[in-house]
Each structure stands twice: as structure tokens, then as C-alpha cells.
């Protein structure tokens, strides 16, 4: 079930009615949990078993991690959680990709190997709820927060339907405390939530799916070279389409939760107003950027072990961040390009001692966590405007690579020819195809 469907409208109205009835708080939480399972089952009911498995395992492993004092046993419990969660993610999301590459490699060295296609179905939202449960067990390992008190609250935290299939990626301290006491939307929250839901649907349905998709698809499905202006129009149309698609869906999620009295973290902050690539990752998919910072970049060493390690950590983080978006070499290259851009930005900043904070200088900027508003939002400066323009054009070309599964895409500053490439939408940007 997706937000932009008539089924969801009926579903949401019924949930609002049930949530506002004079029932006990535990009964309301059970209603929300059952509604979340129904929301997920509307796509493919058997995959609820995976959701249950991830929830149950991480709930008990998390509690054991928090109470366990023996370091070896704690590591063993953490490994169980990592293998369980990442194992499921790798099999369902990357199984076909890994097998295809293995077959190509084996055939390239002279062996005739052609196995049957695995035909693996990708469960909706697995990338999102895997990261949601993983952050809980890792936090329990480091004792960063208290264990969730009840299985009901933890299950609702993992499966709460507004964020289940397309984020925002929430952490226990952001959502679990809201389940501990009765919550009901005030009149102001309800009106704001409905406004955000309407705005998100407008962004998703009208702008992304209707106004911009046609131009983007025409250009990226072209059979041969085209005029430079047409090529740039396609690139810009896709840059708008991917933003309105994903940001619109996230806005819907925040609005739906607010209508029920719950607050979810924001996920976008005017990303195309960025003045650099590190600033872009402070604004685009904020919850994913923060997750990558706290659970990947910093554990790798962050910027604490010299410049070479900092560059390596940046590239590893961006490569895995690109691969998280989709099982394709296209996304790996997309991540590598952003890692390279961040390298260049850091080198320039180190040389010029510019005020623009690179991704690895401060904890608030590491891999895109939301920092203070950039100065150009307070007072426009010509130098910052030039920086923004320098950032804008390579990033828009980069979006072309994000659009296609292969490499026959080329936008040059002189020619801007676009060759035929198939449409490849990120799982993070297409909630129906995680």
C-alpha cells in the first residue's frame, strides 16, 4: 500500500477514527500495530514473516546486549544481529546482483557456467527497517540508550506504517518515548499533518509523476543523440522528479504521523540550495546521512586517524551509501563520484581555508548530518553563489548516471548528447520497489 492510492485514503480515515475513539492507550497501540501489518501485507503478505523475524530477534538480542557485561558474549550477540539483518538484506536485495557478477567473472576466466535465474523477490522497505532495527542493537551494544520496555512498543517502533517502507529512518529515542504515554493529535497538529500530507501528495503525484516524468523519460529513453537544450531539459526534469518523488513521499509520512499525534524527523532541507557537496548531504535524505555517519563513517575512524584514512573512510561510506540505494554498478559509480567530489572539496577547503565546512572536519558535518543553516541563507555572497553554481552542474550530470542502469549516458558541457538508457529508479526513491 502506498500513500498515493485510494486504498490508503480509506485505510487512513479508518485509522484516524479508531485512534480518536475513547479506548485505552494499549488498545490504540495494538490497533496501530495491526494497521501497520495490514499496510505492509497489502503489498505481499508472506514477507510479514521477515518483518516479524527481524523484530523479535533484535528485541531480545538488544535486551541481552544491554545487560551483558562479558565483552566476548556481547560481541557474539552483536554478530548474531548483524548476520541476521545484513544477511537477509544481502540475500533479498543483492543476491541476484552478486550471482550475476560471479557468473560474468567465472565465464570471463574460461568456465562455461550458466545457473538458473534465482528470481528473488525484493521485500518492500527492507533497506529501511533493517537500518531501523540495526541502530537499536548497536546502540544497546554501546549502551547509548535504554532498552525498549515492551515488545509492543518495539514492534510498533519498527513497523509504524508512516515510516515503514520509505523512511524517514528513525531511531529508538526519536519515536519509542512517544509510545510510552497516550498521544492524540491536537487540532493544530491535525491541520498541519493534513497540510503536509496534501503537500507531499502534490509533490509526488502532480510534480514528480505527472509534470516531470514525461520529459525525463523521453530524454533518457531516446534512441540517439539529441539537441543540447533537450538533453539538459531531461537532466533538470529528472533532478526535479527524483526530489519531488522522494521528498514528497517523506513529507506524506511526516504528515500522516502528525495526524496521529506523533512526530517524525525531517528528511530534506532544500538540498538543491546547497553550496557544496558536503552541504548537499546535510540536506538530502538527512536520516540516512546521519545513520551512515554514526554507524559506518565514525566506527571506521572518521577523521581521527589522519588525512589518508579520512579520505578512505569517506569513499567507503559513499560507496556503500550508493550501493544501499540499489543493487547495480550504476549506484556504486554514483557513490564513488560523490566520494570523489567530497575529496576534491576537502582538498580545496584545506588549501584555501575556506569557511565552507567539508564533510570530515566537524562531527555535525560528517556524512551529512544536519548542521546550522549555511551563511548564504542569512546573507547572500557572490563567492557562495559561484560555489553553488560550480556544485550544481556536475551534480545534475551525476543525476543522469543515477537514472540509468548502464553507462551509455553522456552529458557533455559542449554536446550534451543523451544516448538510450533504461529507467532505473532507486529503491529509496520508489517506495513500492525497495
Distance CA 193, CA 243 (A): 20
Distance CA 141, CA 90 (A): 23
Same domain, 162 and 252: no
What total number of domains does the chain contain?
2
Domain match, 209 and 138 both: no
SS3 161: helix
Q: How confident is the model at residue 292 (pLDDT cuts 50, 70, 90)?
A: very high
**64 lies in some domain:** yes
CA 151 to chain centre: 26
379-403 average pLDDT score:
49
Q: Which residue has the cell 529512518?
A: 169
The H or E element that residue 86 is part of is: helix 71-108
Q: Are residues 244 and 345 in the same domain?
A: yes
Residue 432 lies in a domain: no
Mean per-residue pLDDT, 379-392: 48
In a domain, 433, yes or no: no
Q: pLDDT value at position 362?
A: 39
Q: Determine, yes or no, domain membership for 42.
A: yes
Same-domain pairing of 21 and 164: yes
Kindly indicate the confidence band of residue 276, based on its pLDDT and cuts at 50, 70 and 90. confident
Question: Averaged over 279-303, what is the pLDDT?
Answer: 90
Closest CA to 147 of 52, 54, 64: 64
Residues 169, 227, single domain; the answer is no
pLDDT digits (tens, 9 = 90+) for 394-421: 554 455 444 443 333 333 322 333 333 3
In this prediction, residue 367 carries a pLDDT of 40
Q: What pLDDT is attached to residue 416?
A: 34
Tens of pLDDT, residue by residue over 169-203, are 999 999 999 999 999 899 999 999 999 999 999 99
* 176-190, 276-290, 325-339, 356-370: range with lowest mean pLDDT: 356-370
By CB neighbour count within 10 A (0-12 exposed, 13-18 middle, 19+ buried), where does 355 fall? Answer: exposed
Question: Does one domain contain both 173 and 220?
Answer: no
Whether residue 372 has pLDDT greater than 50: no
Q: Are 201 and 255 in contact (CB under 8 A)?
A: no
Q: What is the DSSP string of 332-400?
A: HHHHHHHHHHHHHHHHHHHHHT-SS--TTTSGGGGGG---SPPHHHHS--HHHHHHHHHHHHHHHHHHH
Report in angstroms the alpha-carbon separations of 116 from 35, 100, 101, 387: 38, 11, 14, 51
pLDDT score of 395: 53
Selected catalytic residue, list 223, 325, 338, 417 = 325
Banded pLDDT at 56 (limits 50, 70, 90): very high
Q: In the prediction, which pLDDT does 351 show? A: 81
In a domain, 79, yes or no: yes
pLDDT surpassing 70 at residue 356 = no
Is 206 found in the same domain as 124? no
Is residue 325 part of the annotated active site? The answer reads: yes
Percent of the chain with pLDDT over 70: 81
211 and 174 in a common domain: no
Ramachandran quadrant class, 24 (left: phi over 0; alpha: psi -120 to 50; beta: rest)? beta
Asked whether the beta carbons of 125 and 88 are under 8 A apart, the reply is no
- Residue 196 covered by a domain: no
Cell of 44: 505481499
More confident: 113 or 259 = 259
State whether 160 and 235 are in the same domain: no
> In this structure, are 341 and 381 located in the same domain?
yes
Claim to verify: residue 289 and residue 368 sit in the same structural domain: yes
Given this model, what pLDDT does residue 190 score?
A: 94
170 and 218 in a common domain: no
pLDDT at 363 over 50: no
Say what the pLDDT of residue 36 is. Answer: 94
- Whether residue 426 is contained in a domain is answered as no
Q: Is the pLDDT of residue 378 over 70?
A: no
Residue 27 has pLDDT above 50, yes or no: yes
pLDDT tens digits, one per residue of 157-169: 999 999 998 879 9
What pLDDT is recorded for position 221? 85
pLDDT the model gives residue 135: 92
Beta carbons of 255 and 193 less than 8 angstroms apart: yes
The pLDDT tens digits for 202-234 are: 999 999 999 998 888 888 888 888 888 888 898
CA distance 26 to 169: 24
Q: What is the mean pLDDT of the chain?
A: 81
417 inside domain: no
Out of 113, 146, 179, a domain closes at 179
Tell me the H-state helices in 202-306. 213-220, 228-259, 277-281, 286-292, 298-300
Residues 6+ apart with CB under 8 A from 423: 217, 220, 221, 403, 404
Whole domain around residue 16: which residue ranges?
A: 6-179
Rounded average pLDDT over 22-26: 92
Amino acid at each position: 500500500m502506498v500513500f498515493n492510492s485510494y486504498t490508503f485514503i480509506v485505510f487512513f480515515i479508518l485509522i484516524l477514527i479508531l485512534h480518536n475513539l475513547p479506548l485505552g492507550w494499549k488498545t490504540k497501540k495494538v490497533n496501530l500495530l495491526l494497521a501497520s501489518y495490514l499496510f505492509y501485507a497489502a503489498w505481499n503478505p508472506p514477507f510479514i514473516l521477515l518483518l516479524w523475524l527481524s523484530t523479535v530477534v533484535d528485541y531480545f538480542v538488544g535486551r541481552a546486549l544491554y545487560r551483558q557485561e562479558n565483552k566476548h558474549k556481547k560481541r557474539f550477540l552483536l554478530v548474531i544481529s548483524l548476520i541476521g539483518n545484513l544477511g537477509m538484506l544481502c540475500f533479498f536485495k543483492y543476491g541476484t546482483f552478486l550471482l550475476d557478477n560471479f557468473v560474468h567473472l567465472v565465464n570471463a576466466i574460461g568456465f562455461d557456467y550458466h545457473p538458473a535465474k534465482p528470481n528473488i523477490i525484493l521485500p518492500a522497505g527492507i533497506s529501511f527497517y533493517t537500518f531501523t532495527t540495526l541502530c537499536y542493537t548497536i546502540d544497546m551494544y554501546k549502551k547509548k540508550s535504554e532498552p525498549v520496555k515492551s515488545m509492543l512498543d518495539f514492534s510498533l517502533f519498527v513497523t509504524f506504517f508512516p515510516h515503514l517502507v520509505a523512511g524517514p529512518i528513525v531511531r529508538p529515542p526519536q519515536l519509542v518515548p512517544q509510545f510510552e504515554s497516550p498521544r492524540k493529535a491536537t487540532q493544530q497538529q491535525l491541520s498541519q499533518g493534513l497540510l503536509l500530507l496534501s503537500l507531499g501528495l502534490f509533490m509526488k503525484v502532480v510534480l514528480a509523476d505527472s509534470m516531470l516524468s514525461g520529459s525525463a523519460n523521453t530524454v533518457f529513453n531516446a534512441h540517439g543523440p539529441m539537441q543540447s537544450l533537450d538533453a539538459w531539459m531531461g537532466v533538470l526534469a529528472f533532478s526535479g522528479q527524483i526530489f519531488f518523488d522522494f521528498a514528497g513521499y517523506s513529507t506524506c509520512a511526516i504528515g500522516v504521523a502528525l495526524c496521529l499525534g506523533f512526530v517524525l524527523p525531517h528528511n530534506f532541507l532544500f538540498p538543491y540550495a546547497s553550496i557544496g557537496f558536503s552541504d548537499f548531504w546535510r540536506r538530502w535524505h538527512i536520516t540516512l546521512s546521519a545513520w551512515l555517519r554514526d554507524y559506518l563513517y565514525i566506527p571506521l575512524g572518521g577523521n581521527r586517524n589522519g588525512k589518508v584514512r579520512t579520505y578512505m573512510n569517506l569513499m567507503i561510506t559513499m560507496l556503500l551509501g550508493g550501493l544501499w540505494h540499489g543493487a547495480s554498478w550504476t549506484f556504486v559509480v554514483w557513490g564513488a563520484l560523490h566520494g570523489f567530489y567530497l575529496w576534491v572539496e576537502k582538498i580545496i577547503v584545506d588549501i584555501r581555508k575556506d569557511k565552507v565546512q567539508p564533510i570530515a572536519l566537524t562531527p555535525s558535518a560528517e556524512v551529512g548530518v544536519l548542521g546550522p543553516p549555511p551563511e548564504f541563507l542569512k546573507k547572500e555572497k557572490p563567492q557562495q553563489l559561484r560555489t553553488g553554481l560550480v556544485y550544481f552542474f556536475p551534480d545534475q550530470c551525476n543525476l543522469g548516471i543515477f537514472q540509468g542502469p548502464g553507462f551509455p549516458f553522456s552529458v557533455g558541457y559542449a554536446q550534451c548528447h543523451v544516448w538510450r538508457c533504461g529507467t532505473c529508479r532507486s529503491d529509496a526513491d520508489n517506495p513500492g520497489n525497495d
